[in-house]
Amino acid sequence: MKQYSQMSAAELSALKQELEEAFLKHKEKGKKLNMTRGVPSDEQLSICNGILTCLSADDYKALNGTDCRNYGGIDGIPELKKIFADLLDLTPDEVIVGGNSSLALMFDNVAVNMTHGVRDGKPWQTQGQIKFLCPSPGYDRHFTICDYFHIDMIPVAIGNDGPDMDEIEKLVSSDPMIKGIWCVPKFSNPTGIVYCDKTVKRFANLKPAANDFRIYWDNAYAFHDLGNTNITIPNIIRLCEEAGNPNMVYQFASFSKVSFAGASVSCIASSKSNCEYIRKRLTVQTIGPDKLNQLRHARFFKDAAGVMAHMEKHADILRPKFKLVSDTLQSELGSLGIAEWTRPSGGYFVSFDSLDGCAKRIAALCTQAGVSLTPAGATFPKGNDPKDRNIRIAPTCPPLDELKEAMEIFCAAVKLASAERFLSEKQGNQSN
Amino acid sequence: MKQYSQMSAAELSALKQELEEAFLKHKEKGKKLNMTRGVPSDEQLSICNGILTCLSADDYKALNGTDCRNYGGIDGIPELKKIFADLLDLTPDEVIVGGNSSLALMFDNVAVNMTHGVRDGKPWQTQGQIKFLCPSPGYDRHFTICDYFHIDMIPVAIGNDGPDMDEIEKLVSSDPMIKGIWCVPKFSNPTGIVYCDKTVKRFANLKPAANDFRIYWDNAYAFHDLGNTNITIPNIIRLCEEAGNPNMVYQFASFSKVSFAGASVSCIASSKSNCEYIRKRLTVQTIGPDKLNQLRHARFFKDAAGVMAHMEKHADILRPKFKLVSDTLQSELGSLGIAEWTRPSGGYFVSFDSLDGCAKRIAALCTQAGVSLTPAGATFPKGNDPKDRNIRIAPTCPPLDELKEAMEIFCAAVKLASAERFLSEKQGNQSN
């Protein structure tokens, strides 16, 4: 098929009419297909149903004798701290296990740094207009936290090896109002890229102008390889230590996409000194995390190897879905010169770039045909994708047959929006 | 026995020696007895063990079809919202069910009011030095939250009908920097008193100088009667509505002392408008509460009546413990004129007042003999009991035999500290 950019106005006009008719047929089917968020499927949740029943009426004590039903224990039961520590190559005293939401750990961490400052720091809120660097496209919920606390967001480009480190080093070392950066280092949300070793090392060796600058290292997909690739990234906490920046990073991880998305366990990992500071706040904030749910997870997975074995089952379920997305995009759009997309080895998303100025139109068309996507622009701070081209495709939740339908509608929308775009350009040129 | 105040110096000196010898015997037993906090006993926890096993591998859907394993649902599953609403005589849309810690709900609420303000208000943090009223003796963890956020605490006396409302009305209506007050309206921590109807009405009819003044109504012991008394207090949310102050109160409740102290569910209840404002923040802060644990609670208790029936089992376990405390205090100290204490009809504590200036000494003596108490002074803001006389006795956790030993040691410590006190007064007078 001829690339759209090579077509005459007449050809584009005919194409557009053809695509409109095809799209109308999709609309008439009246589907309701949801690809808005990175949500595990019923099948993925069901391989964990053992967690629902793995405690018995007399099984409620942790290794250290703690009665998990009662009060006590602010930073997690020892067996689960060890599992997280082993998975992240840390020691248990560098890990605080919380409740079911790593997002809540991040929010709380930013909130307390606003009102109280980092350990030995001044409250961010009293220092004037602070800023975060936001590698983009990135995770919309990170940006929403910044937005909530009126933190200025500076987008930074992200490539195949991670964010633009030249830019980050320049900004961080020169501007003391830059207090943080959001990173999803492995299978980045949404591009799926993995930070290369050199990128991670450069992060650890940043020389921030602000001594209360912090890296929010959201390792959300740390164990979420699609194949048996077992891709590893360097240990940011060790590297920060070696670089003389031991307290510069907070790492987050979670079992939201390991066990149950809404009822799992999460952790924050950092230097012992940072952990001590966080624990002190936690004793004011809460009576402690739900230790019984921690115990369920420890019983079900047994150890870090148990988690990794379980993740292979997830990979088996997810691989065909990512393949379907990739195959459909390739067969439908591969030769048309109207889009680019990522082919991730793990994580939860495919990042799709349309022609500039088409993403919002594509999402609107999809909505008309019953396919809900993450709002176009959501992957950028303030929802503002300057090129209006990025769309996050979340293929995990729908069953394969629905995903197929959704991707066909999506591709039809991309083609129609692209034809409209080229045609309006040609017509614009003619009328000049 | 003669009252200590009637004794001569010689009599006191002999008494002191006798009490010291008795106390030494207690010390020599080398006991380790813990009455520091209001912690449920093993027996209380065990009557709930059904919660550990009440879900089966195919039981994870809420009434409205929500898969409780997955993401979604920010304010609680409908069946549990209804249980809390029924218990508190509210509608489900006035209730947000959270995780396992009502303390966390309170902390978060204060935190967000500091950084963002109440709905339609300015951030508390930008308004200068704000203040909270703290009926005292009160709950130490409330005071710790204020302390953490550098909120000035103004102690207000509390009597048998509730806090001193004349004082509260005067302060709240005249000082716009007073932004909040902590209340435990039923079986108040630690005195066990119940706010009378008139007190509750006066709260609802406050005319605060600050339009962003809020009542933190910590109804922690709402269902925690020791007998079948079923004591009720007026519905503060309705009364605030009627008084034209619909948004002035946040009510908190929890099943921490209904099911499992560390793994229960909690709620915040308020006007629909306040709930809407809170929900908006929650969508930024978290992926939602653990809905599976909410489902466990809904399955186990079934409805509000199920909760109330369960609370009678707790009462049966706790009644003998409170009776033992009351009987021991009466028989050991009743005739000596050296102490007063409360005889609560519910809740978790007995509040004990020694002679002025003796509480710290009593706690220190108890520690020497292996009995840990809540630190003397903890029931006052900043840990500062101006009369150094209040001690919170927490009788729920130890088994009856241990509680008996602990109370005997406690009474021995009270007697010794009191004799020391009178003797040093007499000697002081003599040397003047």
Q: Which residues of B touch A39 (CB under 8 A)?
A: 70-71
Of the candidates A115, A262, A285, the beta carbon closest to that of B68 is on A262
Between CA A160 and CA A155 the distance in angstroms is 16
Instruction: State the nearest Cα–Cα gap between B333 and chain A, in angstroms.
Output: 32
Give me the DSSP letters along A85-109. HHHHT--GGGEEE-SS-HHHHHHHH
Cβ pair A251, B56 in contact under 8 A: no
Q: What pLDDT, in 10s, does the model give residues B172-220?
A: 999 999 999 999 999 999 999 999 999 999 999 999 999 999 999 999 9
Between CA A394 and CA B304 the distance in angstroms is 40
A333: Cβ–Cβ under 8 A, 6 or more apart, which residues?
A339, A411, A414, A415
Instruction: State the nearest Cα–Cα gap between B135 and chain A, in angstroms.
Output: 19
Place of tokens 């004349």: B166
Of the candidates B56, B281, B288, the beta carbon closest to that of A52 is on B56
Between CA A74 and CA A276 the distance in angstroms is 11
Residue of A nearest to B261 (CA): A70
Between CA A66 and CA A393 the distance in angstroms is 44
Q: Do A287 and B261 touch (CB under 8 A)?
A: yes
Give me the DSSP letters along B119-140. TTS--GGGSSS-EEEEEES--H
Q: What is the pLDDT of residue A67?
A: 97
Between CA B238 and CA B85 the distance in angstroms is 13
Q: Which residues of chain A have pLDDT under 70?
A: 429-432
10 Å CB burial of residue A6 (0-12, 13-18, 19+) is: exposed
10 Å CB burial of residue B254 (0-12, 13-18, 19+) is: buried
Instruction: State the nearest Cα–Cα gap between B214 and chain A, in angstroms.
Output: 19
Q: What is the pLDDT of residue A430?
A: 63
Structure tokens at B86: 């029924």
Between CA A169 and CA B321 the distance in angstroms is 64
Query: ipTM of this predicted complex?
Result: 0.96
Place of tokens 């009378």: B196
Q: Do A48 and B69 touch (CB under 8 A)?
A: yes
Q: Do B101 and A37 touch (CB under 8 A)?
A: no
Supply the angle between the helices B272-285 and A102-115 in degrees, to the nearest 10. Answer: 100
Between CA A289 and CA B101 the distance in angstroms is 8
Of the candidates A52, A59, A71, the beta carbon closest to that of B262 is on A71
Q: Do B50 and A57 touch (CB under 8 A)?
A: yes
Structure tokens at A240: 């920060």
Q: What is the pTM of this model?
A: 0.96
10 Å CB burial of residue B133 (0-12, 13-18, 19+) is: buried
Q: Do A57 and B53 touch (CB under 8 A)?
A: yes
Q: What is the pLDDT of residue A10?
A: 94
Instruction: State the nearest Cα–Cα gap between B346 and chain A, in angstroms.
Output: 20
Instruction: State the nearest Cα–Cα gap between B145 and chain A, in angstroms.
Output: 6
Instruction: State the nearest Cα–Cα gap between B49 and chain A, in angstroms.
Output: 5
Cβ pair B82, B68 in contact under 8 A: no
Place of tokens 């002074």: B377
Instruction: State the nearest Cα–Cα gap between A57 and chain B, in angstroms.
Output: 5
Q: Do B57 and A49 touch (CB under 8 A)?
A: yes
Of the candidates B45, B141, B292, the beta carbon closest to that of A263 is on B292
Q: Which residues of B touch A284 (CB under 8 A)?
A: 107, 141, 144-145, 148
Q: Do A67 and B58 touch (CB under 8 A)?
A: no
Q: Do B287 and A256 touch (CB under 8 A)?
A: yes
Q: Do B99 and A103 touch (CB under 8 A)?
A: no
Q: Which residues of B touch A114 (CB under 8 A)?
A: 115
Residue A304's identity, in one-letter code, is: A
Place of tokens 């002999």: B14
Q: What pLDDT, in 10s, does the model give residues A261-281?
A: 999 999 999 999 999 999 999
Between CA A257 and CA A101 the distance in angstroms is 11
Looking at residue B189, what DSSP letter applies?
T
Q: Which of A37, A71, A259, A297 to mutate to test the interface with B (most CBs of B within 10 A)?
A: A71
Residue of B nearest to A59 (CA): B52
Of the candidates A71, A111, A261, the beta carbon closest to that of B71 is on A261
Of the candidates B37, B45, B290, the beta carbon closest to that of A290 is on B290
- Listed in order, strand segments (DSSP E) in A20-94 are 33-35
Of the candidates A49, A287, A292, the beta carbon closest to that of B256 is on A287
Q: Do A284 and B53 touch (CB under 8 A)?
A: no
Between CA B134 and CA B385 the distance in angstroms is 12
Give me the DSSP letters along A264-329. --EEEE--HHHHHHHHHHHHHH-S---HHHHHHHHHHH-SHHHHHHHHHHHHHHHHHHHHHHHHHH
Between CA A44 and CA A316 the distance in angstroms is 10
Q: CA of B86: how far to CAs of A431, B81, B303, B304, B359, in Å?
A: 69, 8, 8, 6, 41
Q: What is the pLDDT of residue A50?
A: 97
Place of tokens 């079911």: A100
Per DSSP, helices labelled H in B342-399 are 359-368
Q: Which of B35, B255, B287 to mutate to test the interface with A (most CBs of A within 10 A)?
A: B287
Relative to beta strand A178-183, strand A131-136 is parallel
Q: Which residues of chain B have pLDDT under 50?
A: 432
Q: CA of B208: how far to CAs of B109, B162, B181, B214, B245, in Å?
A: 19, 19, 11, 9, 10
